[in-house]
Amino acid sequence: MEELSHWNDWPTNKGFDPEYEQREPVELAVTGTIPAYTAGVLYRTGPGKSHIKADNGETLNISHWFDGFTQNHRFQIVADDLNGSSRVFYNSRFSTDDLIQKVIETGSLKGLGFAEGRDPCQSVLGKVQSEFIPQPTPSSKNVGVTLSINFPGLDNKDKNDSNSRWNNPQGVRTLYAKTDYNAFQKIDPETLEPLGLASQLDLHPELKGPVTASHARSDPTTGDVFNYNLTLGPTCTYRVFKVSAATGETTILATFDAQPAYLHSLLITEDHVILCIWNAHLDPRKMAESFMHAILPTDPTQPALWYVIDRKGDNGLIATYESPAFFCFHTINAWIEPSKKDASQIDIVADLVRADNTDLIHSLYYNNLISSLDTAKSFQNNRNESIKTSITRFRLPSVPRTPSTDVKKATLEWSDLKFLSPELPTINPAKGTRKHRYVYAVTMRGMGTLTDGIMKLDCDTREGHVWISCGDSPGEPIFVADPEGTNEDDGVLLSVVLDGNRGKSYLLCLDARNLTALGRANIDGAVGLGFHGQHVPAAVGMPTGDY
């Protein structure tokens, strides 16, 4: 694949401070074809408003993309039997009305979230812990990075919940938003109204730490959910846990002390949970400033540590590996296969999106992203190569079946497509915990201030394809399988795209085999450039993607 020429003047203003909200479903005009097998619901979440006018007359500006006030989106896709395509209905809702009202009244953004400054007068851990106690109203908390359909263990346990169960044709009983701190926001799966707040303490009394992963992992067969909880203090403790989809019960699989770090995601195989503590180490004492300030600069001399936990037995932490330093937002998939050195043993193979350091986090301030700002133009014209990412494969060789205290070496097998700088990776969900061939992601090449294309990587041949539409900024591509398909890539990708030139968005449908555009549904407004989503097929009533 040839590297593409540079052009970085794509308009993105509307994507970082959207005002458009559509509370009642409206039908979208569809051009081309969206296959009937995509019928169901696509949910999306991410930052909405970033500028608030306070009662004191000041305009308060959120500084970092991760702190934008959340907005949720719902695309109901209905098969049209007459032409084999689909009709699309759209509604959306801001989910932090009470929090925004508090900002309007107080004229302050302090203590708001990831990068906004905290109150230095309060004790460090006391401040951190208090922020993770659910607030008294459902819309008083900014929770909106990932979405979970029918999250086990939380039904009838969330606080201030006005509705405990939901049933609709797509089988969505509950919808929860999550983030990287210990909180859930329950959302009406049809109207998107915030209904309640909960925390991991509702799952298990030991899950009291403030930090967790937005991307829990769910077993594609059982639906069991896996995540970690991190307690901060003089000694920092990780608890890796499982929530049973069958019983709703939560089990602590392993408890161990280790370096605290910002871990946005983790991995599972059929037999293991893998928690990689990569090099985004935290200094809890700096939490008084902000979570962002607590993330220490990457120290290339400190290895990344991979902790392997037995998820089917009671062996707990069974192995530790180390690899050269790196940073990661998003893991992709992991699986087990016969060891290359000894066929009687097993290796774990893990794919993820790797960066050399944490510079990417610092590049995501709005001053670097809003294309009309001189600061953004300067940043884009002087982009540092350190913010680029690559799809990378690691191997953890000869995984023991019982606990071992030896620290083994993980090997980096290959790393590719750094010139495309992929992010927000997805795969065919049927390949979860099994070896996959194809990975899909957005590209962040520097043609726009954030995303500027959608890519596909064939992990076997290491060949790639890219979809590009000049001036358009796509969101995470979500794979929906063709039920009559025979190959891993038989299906489509659904992505919400901002047309920067028009200042409006559309739902894009791409052929997952070759990234050709099949159809689109046009929205009469701008959808914020957001994070993640879930597709729930109408036929099976289960989500497409991880948790």
pLDDT tens across 16-46, in order?
989 999 999 999 999 999 999 999 999 999 9
Please report the pLDDT score of residue 112 as a whole number.
Answer: 65
Assigned domain for 521 exists? no
Q: How many CB atoms lie within 10 A of CB 338?
A: 11
Which range of residues forms the domain containing residue 213? 13-419
Query: Is 376 inside a domain boundary?
Result: yes
Predicted confidence (pLDDT) at residue 170 exceeds the cutoff of 80: no
Instruction: Please state, in angstroms and rounded to a whole number, the distance separating the CA atoms of residues 318 and 272.
Output: 9
So what's the pLDDT on residue 113?
75
Segment 228-246 mean pLDDT:
96
Query: Hey, how many other C-beta atoms are within 10 angstroms of the C-beta on 332?
Result: 27
CA distance 34 to 43: 17
Among residues 402, 398, 544, the alpha carbon closest in space to that of 477 is found at 544
Strand 317-323, strand 407-409: pairing: parallel
- At 382, the pLDDT band (50, 70, 90 cuts) reads confident
Q: Report whether 215 belongs to an annotated binding site.
A: yes
> Is residue 499 in some structural domain?
no
Q: How far is the C-alpha of 191 from the C-alpha of 172, rounded, in Å?
A: 13
- Residue 109 near residue 60 (C-beta atoms within 8 A): yes
Look at 113-117, 123-127, 177-181, 217-221 and tell me which has the smallest mean pLDDT: 123-127
Sheet holding 389-396, edge to edge: 331-338, 346-355, 389-396, 411-416
Q: Rounded distance, CA 334 to CA 307, Å?
A: 13
Number of residues that this document lists for the chain? 547
Proportion of the chain above pLDDT 90, given as a percent: 80
Tell whether residue 204 is among the known ligand binding residues.
no
Q: Does residue 163 register a pLDDT over 90?
A: no
Would you place residue 383 in the very low, low, confident or very high pLDDT band (cuts 50, 70, 90)?
Answer: confident
- Tell me if 532 is assigned to a ligand binding site: yes
DSSP letter (8 states) at residue 528: P
Residue 21 domain-assigned (yes or no):
yes
Within a domain: 52: yes
Has residue 460 been placed in a domain? no
**Which pLDDT does position 541 carry in this prediction?**
53
Amino acid 396: pLDDT? 98
Q: How many domains does the chain have?
A: 1
Look-up of token digits 């398909």 = 485
Question: Is 264 annotated as a binding-site member?
Answer: yes
Instruction: With respect to residue 6, please indicate whether it lies within any of the assigned structural domains.
Output: no
Task: Write down the pTM of the prediction.
Answer: 0.92
Q: Is residue 483 part of a domain?
A: no
What percent of the chain stands above pLDDT 70?
90
Cα–Cα distances in Å, from 41 out to 37, 62, 168, 311? 12, 31, 11, 31
Q: How far is CA 171 from CA 177, 214, 541, 545, in A?
A: 17, 23, 5, 16
The CA-based diameter of the chain, rounded to the nearest angstrom, is 70
Residues 407 and 274: their CA atoms lie apart, in Å, by: 15
